[in-house]
Structure 1
Amino acid sequence: MTSSSPPADSTPQLPDYAPVPEAALGPALNEHGYHVGRVERNLFSVTDGTYQSAFLLTSDGVVLFDAPPSIGHNLRRAVDEMAAAEGASNTVTHLVYSHHHADHGGASSLFGSDVIRIGHEETKRLLRRDNDPARPLPDVTFQDRYTLEVGGELVELAYHGPNHSPDNIYIHFPHHDTIMLVDIVNAGWVPVFNLNLSEDVPGYIEAPSIAQSYPWTHYIGGHLGRVGTRDTVALHQQYIADIQASVKQMLGTVDPTPYFVKYGANVWAAVQIYLDTITDRAAEPIMAKYTGVLAAADVKAFVHSTTFMILHSTRLDFGPSGPLHP
């Protein structure tokens, strides 16, 4: 009979993080896993704690804004719940795409083929490319601006250039004191990887300022549970501005020479260590300043990848890219 050693402990060693600030917490979810709340009058937001959608109850039917698959059939439940409570129609007649990404529009097909879908012309092009039956093509497209009127309600759609994606639009509810701008500001939280996986860094950085130029009180950002405020957006802007300032400072103080001397012909090794050093040093004071202020400010991968993206945008889009050779 042979003895065997006890199995090694397979429990992963998971890191600890700072508590989520109270101001970043969203509402409690119901037994179905969603929360629906009134934003203003007949405008409602729906969340599963990670994603957000919104809808308008009108005398001519329901207008839905995005259809995240993680909320899925709970969108129908939320509409039914509020329509019953308000004595309104629960028929979804229109669906507006904020942009083409599947994580925000992948439940669109649940609402059938009779719904009028609206999106930017670039959204239609990208959805045609993606060929996803879960995201039917928009029936109505626009280039710069489009005013949607349903049942006496007004919604202003506008395109101000690429930001998170090439087609991400601004959805303004002028009679509901609200703006919806998806994947830019996470109310009370830092951006996730790479500035919320954004494709155009200068556009992403500028987007909150464009949003602030509109009149509104309530901000629907497409993620997490909270409906934000103007202060929410201003805090995000300060966070990004601090990263930009920290990156510029490190670009001006970290000498690349030792890295290229050390690695000689292996230029890419030198580039990696040099840029990683700048990123580490630029991110460190940001994490210290915002931990306890913005949720997940101490999640290193998020802060570092966002800092890395801003570092390269600073070099490539804003300049200078580095010291000028004499």
Structure 2
Amino acid sequence: MVCIMRADSIVTFLCCAAASLACGLHSRTPIDTDPQFAPVPATAAGLELGPGGYAVQSYGGGAYMVTEGSYQAFFLITTKGVIVVDCPPTIGHRMLYAIGNMTSIPVTHLIYSHYHADHIGGVTIFGEDIRTIAHSETARHLLETPDPNRPVPKQIFDKNYTLHVGNQTLELAYLGEAHISGNIFIYAPIQKVLILIDVVFPGWLPFAALGEAKNVPAYYHAHDQILQYDFDHYIGGHVGRAGNRTDVLNQQEYILDLKQNCELAVNLSATDDPSIGAAALLGPVSAKNPGNSWAPFKVYLDTLAQYCANKTNEKWLGKLGGVDVFGFENAWLLIESLRIDYGVLGPFATV
């Protein structure tokens, strides 16, 4: 049996999944190891990398972003030392080259944006004598998951901290989980540069599972918090370029569309129409997998997520990079969040 899925019809998705299970097929499909995705729009393009495999962008006033095309870090030159924010291991020693090409002033301070290794796993290149600063939750995570490549910060704070070094200032604030507990807002008020890692991906849709967000409502709220700052440049930690206010607004519009379409899918699955109601899907799967209550629910979640992703892609393909790459994973997480965080239960509401 061949099923053709269309983005505008949840009927197709529900019936297709049910029919496949009835035919004895697994809901999991083979992984395509040679996929063809939609072209990336020009607005998603990153900075041109130099011969060293990295690029440096100046924001004036001693503020710089460094990228190797996938990750980003930041440094700020002061009269008393250089302040660094993060050092992804994929950038690694190139941070030293980037800083050394701009100044002979030594690095004296290092800020951890949060505890994830893909952003701070290269910090040991700066040695042990620098002053490391992070939120208390970041320190807790690092104590719980010891890693010699991510030393526990020497100085921690709980809510706000203003760092003054020489002629420069950075304002650090913890406004909630956003991406994960301890993930902080870092703001250079003179240069109007805002850093918040793993939330907004300028020119692209969010990486899988909304940037691996641990708290989806907080992730959504973080976009409003970002827009309360007066910034000209936004550093999100990923992709090959920094962003601006328009990039934040574009992503906010995308995730709101995604939420609306996911909620539509959940509500449609709760209708009494046997052709589109959850019973049309759950019944055949349950019959094929007696005693396995997870089987029908997996097919239910996957089906709704695919419907939501495809419907959202209709608007956003060609506007953001990677829309068809991680659209399903973002939708899947949101379907689950709608149920457990927002109380949109669809057919599983109180009987």
State whether TM-score is above 0.5.
Answer: yes
Residue 196 of structure 1 deviates from its aligned partner by 1.3
Q: Is the 8 A contact 1:119 1:138 kept in 2?
A: yes
Q: Does 1:291 align with 2:306?
A: no
Q: Does 1:318 align with 2:342?
A: yes
Q: Is the 8 A contact 1:40 1:177 kept in 2?
A: no
Deviates more, 1:245-254 or 1:194-203: 194-203
CA distance in 2, matches of 1:225, 1:176: 20
Residue 170 of structure 1 deviates from its aligned partner by 0.4
Correspondence for 1:118: 133
Residue 325 of structure 1 deviates from its aligned partner by 4.1
Residue 13 of structure 1 deviates from its aligned partner by 6.3
* Percent identity over paired residues: 39
Q: Does 1:26 align with 2:26?
A: no
1:82-102 CA deviation, whole Å, 9 max, x = no partner? Answer: 11xxxxx43000000000011
Give unmatched runs, 5+ long, in structure 1: 1-11, 84-88
AA paired with 1:275? L
Correspondence for 1:79: 99
CA distance in 2, matches of 1:32, 1:41: 24
Aligned to 2:256, which of 238, 241, 251? 241
Correspondence for 1:307: 331
Give unmatched runs, 5+ long, in structure 2: 1-31, 270-276
Correspondence for 1:46: 66
AA paired with 1:278? L
Correspondence for 1:8: none
Number of aligned residue pairs? 308
Q: SS of the residue aligned with 2:75?
A: strand
Q: SS of the residue aligned with 1:261?
A: helix
Runs (4+) of structure 1 exceeding 6 A deviation are none
CA distance in 2, matches of 1:211, 1:325: 37
CA distance in 2, matches of 1:117, 1:13: 42
Q: SS of the residue aligned with 1:82?
A: coil
> Structure 1's 13 and 310: CA in aligned 2 closer, same or farther, altered over 3 A?
closer
Residue 229 of structure 1 deviates from its aligned partner by 0.5
Q: Is the 8 A contact 1:260 1:267 kept in 2?
A: no
Q: Is the 8 A contact 2:263 2:344 kept in 1?
A: no
AA paired with 2:122? A
Correspondence for 2:278: 256
Residue 17 of structure 1 deviates from its aligned partner by 2.0
> Structure 1's 15 and 320: CA in aligned 2 closer, same or farther, altered over 3 A?
closer
Correspondence for 1:267: 293
- The answer to which structure, 1 or 2, has the higher relative contact order (CA under 8 A, 6+ apart) is 2
Correspondence for 1:185: 200
Q: Is the 8 A contact 2:136 2:158 kept in 1?
A: yes
> Structure 1's 112 and 282: CA in aligned 2 closer, same or farther, altered over 3 A?
same
Aligned to 1:228, which of 229, 243, 247? 243
Q: Is the 8 A contact 1:94 1:117 kept in 2?
A: yes
Q: Is the 8 A contact 2:61 2:190 kept in 1?
A: no
Structural RMSD (CA)? 1.3
Residue 241 of structure 1 deviates from its aligned partner by 0.3
CA distance in 2, matches of 1:315, 1:40: 46
Deviates more, 1:316-325 or 1:131-140: 316-325
AA paired with 2:303? T
Q: Is the 8 A contact 1:259 1:271 kept in 2?
A: no
AA paired with 1:36? V
1:89-135 CA deviation, whole Å, 9 max, x = no partner? Answer: 43000000000011110111110111000000011111122211111
CA distance in 1, matches of 2:168, 2:192: 13
Q: Does 1:207 align with 2:222?
A: yes
User: What does residue range 130-169 of structure 1 map to in structure 2 within 5 Å?
Assistant: 130-169=145-184
Correspondence for 1:86: none
Q: Is the 8 A contact 1:116 1:139 kept in 2?
A: yes
CA distance in 2, matches of 1:193, 1:286: 15
Residue 18 of structure 1 deviates from its aligned partner by 2.1
User: What does residue range 45-64 of structure 1 map to in structure 2 within 5 Å?
Assistant: 45-64=65-84
CA distance in 1, matches of 2:301, 2:38: 27
CA distance in 1, matches of 2:297, 2:306: 14
AA paired with 2:226? A
Q: SS of the residue aligned with 2:101?
A: helix
